[in-house]
Homo-oligomer: A and B are copies of this chain.
């Protein structure tokens, strides 16, 4: 990272969003429900519109524009359960030469009849889409069971079959977002002692597997994620907006069993596209966890080492949003720093932009340009603490400028 001379920090790697929903732009930040009710009331009806290719194409433009204006250059995205929407998203990414991971989303229960897809249709359409899109240009395919509660054993088994037949593909799902969902997973999979074991039973947990949220994962489940090479995507905007709970980032980064982590906005459960806003909320979640571990509330829960790990420094935060996220997605060999031969996706940040107080606030660190790494990092913390999408000045994709703030 080098520093510019007019309030901009050039050359951060582009942001990686590990968990986002393509068809939720218009229901971003919808009112009033926890996860399961929110899906029924707001999400499925809107996602159903994406069976119309022209609606999906129009939405893809809005989606890509919003990603780029937030500095996101790669995302792992959920589609609806309609193949046409998946095609629209791959085509839109290819048009911008943007690296994307996505795939047809499977769900065959606990959703309206108009929304579910049968395991056979899911399997057939997934295979067709893998052949049509995977590793074509920068497109990458993720086998995508929406979440185990919404998938029968039959659907999970089809995912397992797809992974065996296409081991190069990614797997993208949700896990342990909400207490009621965790309880329901136990009810629906009575042979599985916990939520993670549903994925273990079907041979899915391992490298290139990412589960969003993981708020309620037990210590033992986190250990199994760590040992298998599977990843969790931390989605604090969404976890707070839906009231899902506080992800235990200090526990997930236990040096004995560190879990591969990315961050995601989880738009529309998350109420913004901006990864800068995601880092702000990630910091807050860590601080709230931290307070509960210092012994002042409950001495039995005191864990000062874990509390320290809950404190998200700007180094760790921007690592999560760039190279750390890439590593969790097994893309760190081709993305997310300036090594020779890596793909040229990056962002230029403006540390003075944003709310009215920002410029004077940042001037406490420097009036001109940062002279040391410490000063540059203090400005970056100022951006993650007090900034938003306005701090993204330019976004570059494959060496071309794809966004410039007006």
Contacts and interface: CB of A to CB of B under 8 A. Distances in A.
Interface of A: 25-32, 34, 46, 62, 65-66, 69-70, 178-180, 183, 240-246, 267, 271-274, 280-281, 283-284, 286-291, 294, 296-297, 311, 313-314, 355-357, 360-361, 363-364, 378, 381-382, 385-386, 388-389
Given A183-B296, A355-B69, A357-B62, A288 B386 contact: no
Given A271-B280, A385-B31, A289 B357 contact: no
A361 B29 contact: yes
Contacts of A271: 280, 385-386
A116 to B, nearest CB: 23
B389 A241 contact: no
A350 B274 CA distance: 20
A283 B32 CA distance: 9
A18 B70 CA distance: 32
A356 B69 contact: yes
Contact of A294 (B30, B66, B180, B360): B180
B178 A273 contact: no
B386 A388 contact: no
A314 B180 CA distance: 26
A269 B240 CA distance: 19
A175 to B, nearest CB: 16
Nearest to A274: B355
Contacts of A355: 66, 69-70, 272-274, 388-389
B25 A361 contact: yes
A62 B360 contact: yes
A250 to B, nearest CB: 12
Given A65-B356, A69-B356, A355-B274, A386 B29 contact: yes
Contacts of A25: 357, 360-361
Contact of A245 (B280, B291, B381): B291
A29 B179 CA distance: 31
A31 B280 CA distance: 11
Nearest to A184: B296
A311 B31 CA distance: 9
Contact of A31 (B26, B288, B381): B381
A319 to B, nearest CB: 16
A27 B284 CA distance: 17
Contacts of A361: 25-29
A191 to B, nearest CB: 22
Contacts of A241: 283-284, 287, 385
Given A27-B364, A32-B311, A242 B294 contact: no
